[in-house]
Amino acid sequence: MTTAERPLSATVDRLLTQLEEGLPEGEVPASIFGNSELYDAELRKIFGRCWVFLAHESEVAAHGDYTVRKIGEDNFIVSRDEEGEIHVLFDACRHRGVQVCRSDSGNSSHFRCPYHGWTYSSDGALVGAPLWKNAFGGMDKSKNGLTKAAQVRSFHGLIFATLDPSAPPLEEYLGGMAWYLDLIFGLDKDGLEILGAPQRFVVDANWKSGSDNFSGDDYHLGTLHRSVWSIGAFPVPFSENMMGYHVQAAKGHSLSFSMAEDANEPGPNFFGFPEDLAEQFDTSRISEEQLEIARRARVFVGNVFPNFSILALPMSEDGANHAPTGVLTIRTWQPKGPGQIEIWNWFLAYKNMTAEQKDRAYRAGLGTFSVGGSFEMDDTEPWITVARTGSSVAAEVLDFSLNYQMGMPGVGIASKVDDWPGPGIAYWTRYEEGVQRNLYQYYAEMMRAKPGEWPENTL
Ligand code: FES
Ligand SMILES: [Fe+2]
């Protein structure tokens, strides 16, 4: 019996039951943000099975380029071999399990284990070891290469992998979310590239707080990020910015668009990217409907289950001297324990932007949603206390639950949209928390799913 097949512990089962029973009422047990038994089960049932984002192709652009990334808590080498093919290799020597790759990224045709010198090529194949004939002559090399992720797939240059051979193909896993990723990552035919190296920083929070926030927690901007407006960093007033759509694109995957109700309302459009740039885009890869949503969108924020988030919006690091410009960041909330994450943060630009436009976007991103930026730390501080609440004895003993009722029938002004042109379920106005309930619904289903079983992800 593999660990994924073991029955859930009584504690995990109780928490999941509370979640399943609470969700229709808009209630989520706080202990899911800090319980260590639940976290151990998540590593196997969520991160050991789901498609997770690892790297952008432009980070391993040349033959021999590699970078080390995580699936759950485990290291994987993302490498481009001498033929140009991308591999995702478990960073553990087949001889004794030693970590073979000792730098974060680089270019190499081979990885040599530091213990006894087994040497693997960039596609993971075992190619030799010291004094091979004496030590291993006659052994089958082909059966002793580095172990690969079960499936690897690129989508608009975004490299995803899963450890589960029974996982549906990535496009099927994304379901309706693929349509929305198309409209941002495929907006220009030539796609995007990463600006600089990703930032990494550790925060004492639970990974679900990041996914929850980026599923569409727009409401926190007016309180937590109110300095955004006092320094002129963002061009749309708070209450106006709450206008737009919440979309449950597929089960687990949610997003949010800030958008004026009137399609002819003046900008910002295209997530704040310069209008003249947007006019130069070759949008032939997307439909008229996708293009119209991108044109009208002031902000795009979303989360691909479990822990891959996207944010595109007009931002300025210094509103007094620079008008806001489009910033596009992608993130992962890497689990490091029930109460710790490593945040990975990349900035991207459309390849066809000029060097000056890329520089402008990078500076605006670095000055706002980055480890040294003016708004990043706003978010991380409350999440730290969510994890503290989640691991508290009081939350456990009192069955303390959190309120996710915004936008439910009779609560607030949000209402379902009948003529939304994209896949999934959309609500008008972003005073709505169905996007997060959608995240936890799929979470609960994945936690319950038996090995080899995949819950239906259409809504
Ligand atoms: S552990 Fe890697 S060569 Fe022995
Ligand atoms: Fe925020």
pLDDT tens-place string over residues 284-304: 999 999 999 999 999 999 999
Query: Mean per-residue pLDDT for 427-431?
Result: 98
Q: What percentage of the chain reaches a pLDDT higher than 70?
A: 99
Tell which atom from ligand 1 comes closest to the C-alpha of 93: 2
Tell which atom from ligand 1 comes closest to the C-alpha of 98: 1
The Cα 116–Cα 99 span in angstroms is: 12
Which residues make Cβ contacts (< 8 Å) with residue 68, sequence separation at least 6?
75, 76, 77, 78, 91, 101, 103, 104, 105
Confidence at residue 290, expressed as pLDDT on a 0 to 100 scale: 97
Confidence at residue 2, expressed as pLDDT on a 0 to 100 scale: 61
Model confidence at 272, pLDDT cuts 50, 70, 90, reads very high
- Residue 6 above 80 pLDDT? no
Q: Which of 90, 91, 93 has the most ligand 1 atoms within 8 A of CB, as the residue to mutate? A: 93
Cα of 374 vs centre of ligand 2, distance in Å, is: 11
SS3 of 242-261: the string is CCEEEEEEECCEEEEEECCC
- Residue 133 above 70 pLDDT? yes
Query: Mean per-residue pLDDT for 206-218?
Result: 98
The larger pLDDT score, comparing residue 15 to residue 233, is at 15
Query: Mean per-residue pLDDT for 77-106?
Result: 98
Nearest CA to ligand 1 atom 3: 116
Confidence at residue 379, expressed as pLDDT on a 0 to 100 scale: 92
Which residues make Cβ contacts (< 8 Å) with residue 358, sequence separation at least 6?
195, 349
Cβ(115) – ligand 1 distance below 6 Å: yes
Model confidence at 372, pLDDT cuts 50, 70, 90, reads confident
Task: Report the residue count for the chain.
Answer: 459
Cβ(96) – ligand 1 distance below 6 Å: yes
Cα of 301 vs centre of ligand 2, distance in Å, is: 10
Which ligand lies nearest to the CA atom of residue 222 in the structure?
A: 2
Cα of 221 vs centre of ligand 2, distance in Å, is: 6
Cβ(116) – ligand 1 distance below 6 Å: yes
Cα of 99 vs centre of ligand 1, distance in Å, is: 9
Q: What percentage of the chain reaches a pLDDT higher than 90?
A: 91
Confidence at residue 4, expressed as pLDDT on a 0 to 100 scale: 59
* Angle, vertex CA 175, rays to CA 333 and CA 312, nearest 5: 50
397 SS3 class? helix
Contacts 24+ apart (CB under 8 A), 446-451: 446/45, 446/46, 446/49, 446/50, 446/252, 446/305, 447/8, 447/12, 447/16, 447/41, 447/42, 447/45, 447/46, 448/8, 448/16, 449/45, 449/49, 450/5, 451/2, 451/4, 451/5, 451/166
Please say whether the dihedral angle defined by the alpha carbons of residues 275, 281, 284 and 286, taken in this order, is positive or negative.
negative
The Cα 181–Cα 254 span in angstroms is: 11
Which residues make Cβ contacts (< 8 Å) with residue 408, sequence separation at least 6?
26, 433, 434
The Cα 450–Cα 167 span in angstroms is: 12
pLDDT, tens only, 156-165: 999 999 999 9
Which ligand lies nearest to the CA atom of residue 146 in the structure?
A: 1
Confidence at residue 3, expressed as pLDDT on a 0 to 100 scale: 54
Query: Mean per-residue pLDDT for 368-376?
Result: 88
Confidence at residue 399, expressed as pLDDT on a 0 to 100 scale: 96
Cα of 379 vs centre of ligand 2, distance in Å, is: 5
pLDDT, tens only, 23-50: 999 999 999 999 999 999 999 999 999 9
The larger pLDDT score, comparing residue 343 to residue 1, is at 343
Cβ(132) – ligand 1 distance below 6 Å: no
The Cα 344–Cα 346 span in angstroms is: 7
Domains with residue ranges and CATH for the chain: 52-154 (2.102.10.10), 177-448 (3.90.380.10)
- Residue 267 above 90 pLDDT? no
Query: Mean per-residue pLDDT for 266-274?
Result: 90
What letters, b where the CB count within 10 A reaches 16 and e where it falls short, cover 317-331? bebeebebbbbbbbb
Which residues make Cβ contacts (< 8 Å) with residue 373, sequence separation at least 6?
317, 365, 366, 367
- Burial class, 237, CB count within 10 angstroms (exposed 0-12 / middle 13-18 / buried 19+): exposed
The larger pLDDT score, comparing residue 373 to residue 422, is at 422
What letters, b where the CB count within 10 A reaches 16 and e where it falls short, cover 90-103? bbbbbbeeeebbee
The Cα 398–Cα 30 span in angstroms is: 10
User: Which amino acid makes up residue 8?
Assistant: L
402 SS3 class? strand
State the Rg of the chain over Cα. 23
**Closest-CA residue to 59 (of 279, 348, 456, 387):** 348
417 SS3 class? coil
Confidence at residue 228, expressed as pLDDT on a 0 to 100 scale: 86
Confidence at residue 1, expressed as pLDDT on a 0 to 100 scale: 56
Q: Which of 89, 95, 136 has the most ligand 1 atoms within 8 A of CB, as the residue to mutate? A: 95
Cβ(102) – ligand 1 distance below 6 Å: no
SS3 of 287-318: the string is CHHHHHHHHHCCEEEEEECCCEEEEEEEECCC
Region at 255 (left for phi over 0; alpha for psi -120 to 50; beta for the rest): beta
- Residue 230 above 90 pLDDT? no
Cβ(336) – ligand 1 distance below 6 Å: no
The Cα 125–Cα 119 span in angstroms is: 8
Contact between 317 and 373 under an 8 Å Cβ cutoff? The reply is yes
